[in-house]
Amino acid sequence: MRTIDIQVNGAFGIDFNDDNLDLDSFSHACQKLAASGVQQFFPTLITAPHDALLRRVSKIAGWVTADSQLQACVGGLHIEGPFISPKPGYRGTHPLDAIRPVCLEFLKEMVEAGRGLVRQVTLAPEEDPQFLGTRWLADQGIVPFAGHTDASLEQLRGAIDQGLQGFTHLGNGCALEVSRHDNILHRVLACRSELVVSFIADGIHAPFWLLKTWLELFGPDRVIVTSDAMSAAGMPPGEYLIGGQPILVDESRRTRHRDHQYLAGSASLLQDMENLGPQWIRDWSEVKERLFCENARKLFRLPGTPQ
């Protein structure tokens, strides 16, 4: 099965958020991802200072727009941050000093730097005053996702009214301890008929029994499996980087920031998660293409989507 991965921070020892990333390394990662079964993917650029983030977006966009082979495998860019919650846990491993509320001017600069390739932006609705950024993205045909957020139910619904369409890696990018009833997981579940959710389905970021339960609640047309791969994916255990931050990967493939306990992307490829799918996905043969390919293709209107 050929898959679509909407969140890839890096792979095969290559970090897409590295300021020293060069074309040969990026092309090599693209070739290796294609060989692993990924038909198209979204290079994902995470929270960084203003100028650094614009440089990273512009550099990758420039390479892709100039190369037909890269265009065939890069379906678009996913920008995750910097407009996310600064709260511990919710920000994950995103650098606190670069996190900021939504700035429409900065958002427009990022999209312009992306040369028409920005397909997805993950932000925190509570950091988007009056949801102006969400509305602007939706008006440009870019798909806004909530993520790394502690938005209230009212804020989630307000963002949905302005074009929010999805939620990034449900069950991650949140505090380790939350209120029993009123928490971001339950709020997203309350909006399940209006949002598409992505899962990191490696069995580490969320247990398979929980993914199975969520899949039953959302239904197979509203779930996208993504790797959230970082540079350690496809590599042995050790220390790797994401945006200059040191990430430790142990023998179980668990990732964590060297200086704290939070997970930091995935050390698994989407192919690895596909191989694990039958452990938690009922009616595997009937729904696997939707979860690993077609739902993403339809939501982001990628080539091959019926008109």
Task: Give the pLDDT of residue 1.
Answer: 85
Q: DSSP assignment, residue 74?
A: B
Is 43 inside any structural domain?
A: yes
Is 294 inside any structural domain?
A: yes
pLDDT tens series, the chain, 307 aa: 899 999 999 999 999 999 999 999 999 999 999 999 999 999 999 999 999 999 999 999 999 999 999 999 999 999 999 999 999 999 999 999 999 999 999 999 999 999 999 999 999 999 999 999 999 999 999 999 999 999 999 999 999 999 999 999 999 999 989 999 999 999 999 999 999 999 999 999 999 999 999 999 999 999 999 999 999 999 999 999 999 889 999 999 999 888 877 888 999 999 999 999 999 999 999 999 999 999 999 999 998 755 4
pTM above 0.95, yes or no: yes
Is 89 inside any structural domain?
A: yes
Task: Give the pLDDT of residue 304.
Answer: 76
Is 257 inside any structural domain?
A: no
Is 307 inside any structural domain?
A: no
Alpha-carbon distance 121 to 51, whole Å?
A: 18
Residue 80 domain boundaries: 3-235+264-299
Is 304 inside any structural domain?
A: no
Is 204 inside any structural domain?
A: yes
118 within 8 A of 76, measured Cβ to Cβ:
yes
Alpha-carbon distance 241 to 243, whole Å?
A: 6
* 96: Cα separation from own chain's centroid: 18
31: Cβ–Cβ under 8 A, 6 or more apart, which residues? none
Task: Give the pLDDT of residue 307.
Answer: 46
198 bridge partner residues: 224
How many beta carbons lie within 10 A of that of residue 194, not counting itself? 14
Task: Give the pLDDT of residue 266.
Answer: 97
100 within 8 A of 82, measured Cβ to Cβ:
yes
Encoded tokens for 54 = 């614009």
220: Cβ–Cβ under 8 A, 6 or more apart, which residues? 283, 287, 290, 291, 295
Is 145 inside any structural domain?
A: yes
Return the CATH number at 144.
Answer: 3.20.20.140
Encoded tokens for 229 = 């791969």
Domain tally, the chain = 1
Q: DSSP per residue over 217-234, as a string?
A: HH-TTSEEEE--B-TTTT
- Tokens 């028409």 belong to 116
